[in-house]
């Protein structure tokens, strides 16, 4: 791994929160925390999950922590045969279950709703990660929660 973060003996939730504190976006933080669960190098995982932060590139749509969780589910349980209706259905059930678990705890999976923002699209320029930023945003808790939900799912379904 190409990161300074010490990943030994940390839970996926702790890793996700640590990645977020390091400056990775919410989607990257969750997806990177589970690199030990699938065969993808850290740089590739960082790149592939980079577009989904702040509700899809700061569009404030589906929360990046949720999309990160969905990407983890795809890497671990996803289907590959486009004609396999059974596997596709089972995977979509899985994704809807994970979304419901997150929504039950947070009343939404939509970034702007979780942050109490207006329905407008946001500037593409990310906010600097200052102490004030961390005080006003629940994102670090949300990435930890998404990782916990994914961990629980993995433990119950392996």
Task: Summarize pLDDT for 26-50 with one digit per residue, the tens.
Answer: 999 999 999 999 989 999 999 999 9
Range of the domain at 84: 12-156
36, part of any domain: yes
- Residue 2: pLDDT band with limits 50, 70, 90: very low
132 with 138: CB under 8 angstroms? no
116 with 36: CB under 8 angstroms? no
98 with 150: CB under 8 angstroms? yes
1, part of any domain: no
Looking up tokens 């999976």 gives: 109
- Residue 123: pLDDT band with limits 50, 70, 90: confident
38 with 75: CB under 8 angstroms? yes
d(C-alpha 26, C-alpha 16), whole Å: 8
User: At 109, is the secondary structure helix, strand, or coil?
Assistant: coil
pTM: 0.92
- For the chain, how many structural domains are there in total? 1
143, part of any domain: yes
Which pLDDT value is given to residue 7?
57
d(C-alpha 93, C-alpha 128), whole Å: 37
41, part of any domain: yes
């Amino acid at each position: 791994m190409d990161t300074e973060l010490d990943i030994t003996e940390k839970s996926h939730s702790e890793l996700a929160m640590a990645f977020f504190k390091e400056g990775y976006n919410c989607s990257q933080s969750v997806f990177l925390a589970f690199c030990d669960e699938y065969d993808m190098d850290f740089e590739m995982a960082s790149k592939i999950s980079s577009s989904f932060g702040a509700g899809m590139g700061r569009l404030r749509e589906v929360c990046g922590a949720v999309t990160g969780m969905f990407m983890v589910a795809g890497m671990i349980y996803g289907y590959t045969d486009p004609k396999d209706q059974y596997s596709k259905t089972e995977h979509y059930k899985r994704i809807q279950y994970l979304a419901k678990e997150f929504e039950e705890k947070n009343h939404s999976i939509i970034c702007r709703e979780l942050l109490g923002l207006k329905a407008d699209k946001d500037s593409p320029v990310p906010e600097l990660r200052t102490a004030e930023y961390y005080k006003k945003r629940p994102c670090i808790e949300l990435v930890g929660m998404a990782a916990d939900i994914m961990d629980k799912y993995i433990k119950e379904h392996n």
